[in-house]
Amino acid sequence: MKNKSHLQKYSGPNSRYTCPRCGKPRELVLYINEETGQPYAPNVGICNRRDKCGYNYTPSQFFSDKGEIREVEIVPTRPADIIHFDTISFGAVGTLFPNARKLWCNHRIHLAALFGDDRVSKMHEDYMIGVYKNRMSIFWQMDEKGVVRTGKIMQYDPETGHNTGIFRWMHKEIGRPEFVLKQCLYGAHLLKGLELTRTILLVESYKNTHFVRCLTSFFVVVSTDNKGGFTAERCKPLKGRNVIVLPDCGAYDDWEKKARYISREVGCSMRMSTFLEERATEEQKAEGYDIADWIQDQILFGRALVDIENEFIEAV
């Protein structure tokens, strides 16, 4: 009879061990022998840090190293369900968000100059953007259950609106160096209880998210944080939904391939938008022009917001 095993279910920090390869504490998940209910050995397991470490010593390898040939079937588990990640209490968002009413972050100052206070306030309430030291913005990553995965603290130039490249993670700021971060789609909390008929617009950056939301409430906008953040794992909450994917210039081909895979894997409809590809010049494309750039250019050309909004909704 074939031996069966599964990965140990998470039941608190004591159910995770120090990885023999990378030496990180509480990262090793042990394989459990289903016959005995016990681990095979303290080193027969898989490291949570799949990309950075990649340690995976399977029961079959364990037996073969002992000179025994025993095939062990690993009962499939969905790693995302069992691999532990840390969260931040929702209270943190509540404590830091009200500040945003009195004190504006640089990002908001720039947006208000373009869109006016009303549109920016509505956007701010949707995403619960907080304010941090030196007028930095706090973008909370809240998942589809409303659980706070972390906050990304970013600094913008109040005049140009450009991302200065300075950023910090909230879990580090609040002194949790052991924090296991599992990022989610930014804006995923807006999917909670949202009817399936609403179209989701998926973009890359926080800035794109906010520009589109200030322009229109026609779509629910979510973002991947960065180019590499467009993954099936992060897109899981989009199951059953209609999604328009609007990448920055330069990422179209890569994201088109990914969208084909992700939509199958997740079970949603994904349509690539050529809106930017059709409007950007070759030079702009080379510079990674994005939807925030396009919206800002239209406003600075003096077009009315409602005209820009209509063109966007019709053509995206």
Binding site for Zn ion (CB under 5 A): 19, 21-22, 47, 49, 53, 55
Residue whose CB is less far from Zn ion, 10 or 218 = 10
Least distance (Å) from Zn ion to the CB of residue 175? Answer: 23
Residue 127 CA to residue 132 CA, distance in Å, equals 15
Nearest to Zn ion of 29, 53 (CB atom): 53
Residues pairing with 221 in the sheet: 201
Looking at the chain, which runs of residues are DSSP E strands?
3-7, 28-33, 45-47, 72-74, 130-132, 136-142, 148-156, 163-169, 200-203, 220-223, 242-245, 269-272
Residues with Cβ within 8 Å of residue 87, at least 6 apart in sequence? 147, 148, 149
Which is closer to Zn ion, CB of 45 or CB of 187? 45
DSSP character string of 246-304: -PPTT-HHHHHHHHHHHHHHHT-EEEE--HHHHHS-HHHHHTT--HHHHHHHHHHTT--
Looking at beta carbons only, is 21 or 279 nearer to Zn ion?
A: 21
Of 55 and 219, nearer to Zn ion (C-beta) is 55
What's the min distance (Å) between Cβ of 245 and Zn ion? 33
Closer CB to Zn ion, residue 21 or residue 303? Answer: 21
The CB-of-46 to Zn ion minimum distance in angstroms stands at 9
Q: In whole angstroms, how close is the CB of 30 to Zn ion at the nearest point? A: 13
Cross-strand bridge partners of residue 154: 137, 167
CB of 21 to Zn ion, least distance (A): 5
- Residue 93: exposed, middle, or buried by beta-carbon count in 10 A (0-12, 13-18, 19+)? buried
276: which residues sit within 8 A by CB, 6+ positions away? 246, 247, 248, 249, 289, 290, 291, 294
CB nearer to Zn ion: give 19 or 30. Answer: 19
Q: What are phi and psi of 120, to 5 degrees?
A: -70, -40
In angstroms, give the least distance from the CB of 28 to Zn ion. 7
Q: How far is the CB of 149 from Zn ion (least distance, A)?
A: 21
